[in-house]
């Protein structure tokens, strides 16, 4: 199997150095890497799961708004980044592993390589500071 | 193809009796086959290239991995540029901000050099490359970006059944985990895979590398690990540190050799080395 582009490889190496959850997808949204802090959010270990198809990992979080309405995938930052190749940010609610709802903020950005080719996307999860 | 190493030193040319064996010229490799000539990088070693020997036409192709000074400083002293009969092709990595012409002009213009690139008498053709397959005469070439500061490519050159891979400046171990086991996550692996000969960066010792991480170069151990993962048949280590004498390089290499158990041959490259492939 061919190696990833170096822009993807360098994003993984950066993610390995960070204490915040980072998810990296290919251009189709398949999860190709997540770091240790992201393992805690996902409840799974990268070493165990390897890559995950887009529909499998996207459904794990049950994203919803403040009223508890399930968010349309099209409203999520990463999905928008994958669709429009542009960075997005939004706060919303996810269901944590113990079933408790918690508010998070997600920042996503496209990985556009040197030749301006869209190679994938990165989503960073922040613990929301909003009340 | 005949491969002649014209410069294997990194960073800056060195001279003196202490570097007589490995040589002091910076990156340059000459490749000849069927009357065609490729020159990989334009370091100071370019002054030793045999320009007109065996050429059956007036074309020469210079392939630049990147535009750091030790890879282009010899260009201004490349004789065929000053010959109106010559057709010169320079291939270099594309950048997102400036053209290859603009970047080369930074050096090939006053005050750094007396002659403007536009005034070179030869017929000059510039080619911007990224991840690309292209052909030059009998050579089939694949280029791709590799980890090194600034736009930098490596070259995989096919000639008949032989494959030669050239990545003199490369840091595949960049990151907290070093070179990752899964080869899909290793920079340059597709370029090097199964090569008959890999010429790879090996500037540092294992002890030096952590203090120089991010400078774009590899330790000898990482070069060997990379070559092993790529299943190459022969590894030549280059980009020797300019502060290293022949004795120091021998000592460094012997120390690595004594604890490396790999199935392929490896050794430090020296200026003037000639290899026949294909």
User: Which of the residues B184, B186, B188, B231 would you substitute to probe the A interface, choosing the one with the greatest number of A C-beta atoms within 10 Å?
Assistant: B184
Does the distance separating the beta carbons of A3 and B189 come in below 8 Å? Answer: yes
Does the distance separating the beta carbons of B176 and A16 come in below 8 Å? Answer: yes
Q: Which residue ranges form the domains of chain B, and what is each CATH number?
A: 2-270 (3.60.15.10)
Q: Contact at 8 Å (CB) between B200 and B228?
A: no
A-to-B residue pairs, Cβ atoms closer than 8 angstroms: 49
pLDDT above 70: residue A32? yes
Radius of gyration in angstroms for the set of CA atoms belonging to chain B, rounded to a whole number: 18
Q: Contact at 8 Å (CB) between B130 and B145?
A: yes
Measured CA to CA in angstroms, residue A88 lies from A82, A118, B240 at distances of 10, 16, 45
Q: Which residue has the tokens 């009340």?
A: A131
> For residue B36, how many other CB atoms are within 10 A of its CB?
20
Closest residue in B to A3 (Cα–Cα):
B184
Report how far residue B29's alpha carbon sits from residue B199's, in angstroms, rounded to the nearest whole number: 10
Query: Three-class SS of residue A107?
Result: strand
Residue B254: its pLDDT value, please?
96
Q: Contact at 8 Å (CB) between B108 and B62?
A: no
Chain A, 46-105: which have a CB under 8 Å from a chain B CB?
A: none
CA distance A54 to chain B (A): 19
For B187-239, how does the pLDDT look when each residue is reduced to its tens digit (9 = 90+)? Answer: 999 999 999 999 999 999 999 999 999 999 999 999 999 999 999 999 999 99
CA distance A116 to chain B (A): 8
Which string of DSSP letters, residue by residue, matches B119-150? G-SSEEEEEEESSEEEEETTEEEEEEE-SSSS
Residue A62: its pLDDT value, please?
87
Does the distance separating the beta carbons of B175 and A13 come in below 8 Å? Answer: yes
Residue B23: its pLDDT value, please?
98
Residue A129: its pLDDT value, please?
67
Measured CA to CA in angstroms, residue B45 lies from A88, B25, B41, B48, B103 at distances of 49, 5, 9, 6, 21
pLDDT above 80: residue B35? yes
Does the distance separating the beta carbons of A114 and B151 come in below 8 Å? Answer: yes
Helix B220-229, helix B246-258: angle, nearest 10: 50
Report how far residue B62's alpha carbon sits from residue B45's, in angstroms, rounded to the nearest whole number: 13
What percentage of chain B reaches a pLDDT higher than 70?
100
Chain A, 16-35: which have a CB under 8 Å from a chain B CB?
A: 16-17
Sheet with B197-201, strands from edge to edge, namely B132-136, B139-145, B153-159, B162-167, B197-201, B234-238, B265-268
pLDDT above 90: residue A40? no
Q: Using CB atoms, pick whichever of A12, A113, A115 lies closest to residue B185.
A: A12
Q: What is the mean pLDDT of residues A85-93?
A: 95
Residue B251: its pLDDT value, please?
97
Say if A116 is an interface residue toward chain B (CB within 8 Å): yes
Measured CA to CA in angstroms, residue B52 lies from A70, B56, B92 at distances of 72, 9, 23
Tokens standing for B251?
A: 């000592």
pLDDT band at A115 (very low <50, low <70, confident <90, very high): confident
For β-strands A22-26 and A118-127, DSSP reports them as antiparallel
Cis before B111? omega within 30:
yes
User: Which of the residues A115, A116, A117 would you substitute to probe the B interface, choosing the one with the greatest number of B C-beta atoms within 10 Å?
Assistant: A115
Q: Contact at 8 Å (CB) between B212 and B174?
A: no
Kindly list the residues from chain A whose CB atom is less than 8 angstroms away from the CB atom of residue B131.
5, 115
Q: Using CB atoms, pick whichever of A9, A14, A113 lies closest to residue B185.
A: A9
Measured CA to CA in angstroms, residue B37 lies from B27, B120, B241 at distances of 16, 20, 28
Residue A42: its pLDDT value, please?
83
Kindly list the residues from chain A whose CB atom is less than 8 angstroms away from the CB atom of residue B175.
10, 12-14, 16-17
CA distance A77 to chain B (A): 26
Q: Using CB atoms, pick whichever of A4, A14, A114 lies closest to residue B185.
A: A4
Q: Contact at 8 Å (CB) between B217 and B70?
A: no
Does the distance separating the beta carbons of B96 and A114 come in below 8 Å? Answer: yes
Element (H, E) at A47: helix A46-49
The mean of the pLDDT values for chain A is 90
pTM for this entry: 0.93
């Amino acid at each position: 199997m061919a190696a990833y582009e170096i822009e993807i490889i360098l994003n993984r190496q950066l993610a390995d150095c960070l204490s915040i959850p980072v998810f990296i997808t290919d251009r189709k949204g398949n999860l190709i890497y997540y770091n240790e802090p992201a393992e805690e959010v996902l409840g799974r270990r990268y070493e165990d799961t390897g890559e995950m198809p887009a529909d499998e990992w996207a459904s794990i979080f049950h994203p919803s708004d403040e009223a508890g309405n399930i968010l349309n995938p099209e409203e999520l930052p990463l999905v928008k980044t994958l669709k429009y190749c542009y960075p997005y940010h939004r706060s919303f609610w996810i269901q944590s592993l113990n079933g408790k709802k918690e508010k998070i903020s997600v920042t996503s950005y496209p990985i556009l390589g040197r030749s301006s080719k869209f190679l994938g996307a990165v989503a960073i999860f922040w613990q929301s500071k909003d009340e | 193809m005949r491969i002649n190493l014209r410069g294997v030193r990194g960073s800056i040319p060195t001279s003196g009796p202490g570097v007589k064996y490995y040589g002091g010229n910076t990156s340059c490799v000459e490749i000849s086959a069927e009357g065609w000539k490729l020159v990989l990088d334009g370091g100071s070693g370019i002054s030793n290239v045999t320009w007109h020997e065996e050429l059956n036409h007036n074309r020469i192709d210079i392939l630049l991995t990147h535009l750091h000074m030790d890879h282009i400083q010899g260009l201004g002293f490349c004789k065929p540029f000053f010959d109106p009969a010559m057709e010169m092709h320079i291939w270099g990595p594309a950048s997102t901000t400036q053209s290859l012409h603009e970047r080369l002009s930074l050096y090939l213009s006053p005050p750094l050099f007396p002659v403007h690139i536009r005034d070179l008498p030869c017929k000059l053709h510039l080619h911007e490359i990224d991840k690309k397959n292209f052909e030059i005469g009998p050579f089939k070439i694949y280029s791709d970006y590799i980890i090194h500061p600034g736009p930098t490519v490596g070259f995989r050159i096919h000639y008949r059944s032989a494959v030669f891979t050239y990545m003199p400046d490369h840091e595949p171990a960049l990151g907290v985990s070093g070179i990752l086991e899964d080869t899909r996550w290793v920079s340059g692996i597709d370029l090097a895979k199964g090569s008959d000969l890999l010429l790879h960066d090996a500037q540092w010792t294992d002890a030096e590398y952590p203090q120089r991480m991010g400078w774009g170069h590899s330790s000898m151990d990482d070069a060997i690990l990379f070559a092993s993962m790529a299943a190459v048949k022969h590894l030549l280590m280059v980009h020797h540190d300019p502060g290293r004498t022949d004795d120091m390089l021998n000592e460094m290499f012997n120390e690595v050799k004594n604890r490396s158990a790999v199935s392929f041959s490896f050794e430090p490259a020296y200026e003037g080395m000639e290899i026949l492939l294909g």
